[in-house]
Amino acid sequence: MSGNVQLLSDTLAAAKSEGRAALIAYLPAGFPTVTGGIEAVKAALDGGADVVEVGLPHSDPVLDGPVIQTADDIALRGGVRIADVMRTVREAHEATGKPILVMTYWNPIDRYGVERFTAELAEAGGAGCILPDLPVQESALWREHAAKHGLATVFVVAPSSKDARLAEITAAGSGFVYAASLMGVTGTRESVGAQAEDLVRRTRTTTDTPVCVGLGVSNASQAAEVARFADGVIVGSAFVKRMLDAPDDAAGLEGIRALAADLAKGVRGQA
């Protein structure tokens, strides 16, 4: 069975044809429970997200700030497994028809087996993978199997990336380019800043692949700011925080749905 890389491309193209950026939400699998995590992903999509990244919880998430680390810890203590990540992708995609990616560090895939992981992700209806710590020069095996199974390979670029490095990364990736808006870990911030706009501009000189910006966006006005210059706006910690801060799961899901609706207005310039 082939994965849904084409659905991802079509979704991003449809947003562009509407004169707006796509809204991409991030939520970890298994948080607050496996079933609760699936409902959270569906709530984000129902609220207005175009795409969701499902996080594969990791014991040492070096690029993630305290909010996502807390959620990962809850998921891991709950016993989440890669099979639960695949279930999350499958059920969320089946319920909504929207593209679902997995965001993961490389070590769990390496241990699980690249062929097995890509085959299962494609079978679950996944659109691809975001691999923040896999060096492009070591990615040939992954990219071979991802392409075979119809999965996008999304690499991360940062403000520190030199132009030659940007060209190398964008040539190897597919689906979209994840532009980290600043140096540091995930989390909400007061400003997403000019660094992000400059990074998008430099990245676009190397590729026609959509460039989506993440790290720091937490509200509609920030989403509107980033949507002026990016093809997609990625929001993670703000969604996770809605669930963490809620008095119960039902309130958390409502909070996620409401935030997605607010951010959806932002990417449409209606904030």
Among the options 50, 64, 91, 197, which is catalytic? 64
Instruction: Judge whether 249 counts as a catalytic residue.
Output: no
Instruction: Judge whether 53 counts as a catalytic residue.
Output: yes
- CA distances 224 to 95, 247, 259, 268, Å, are 28, 29, 14, 7
Among the options 39, 46, 50, 53, which is catalytic? 53
Residue 24 gets the label, from left (phi > 0), alpha (psi -120 to 50) or beta, of beta
Tell me the C-alpha distance between 60 and 185, whole Å: 13
Catalytic (active-site) positions:
53, 64
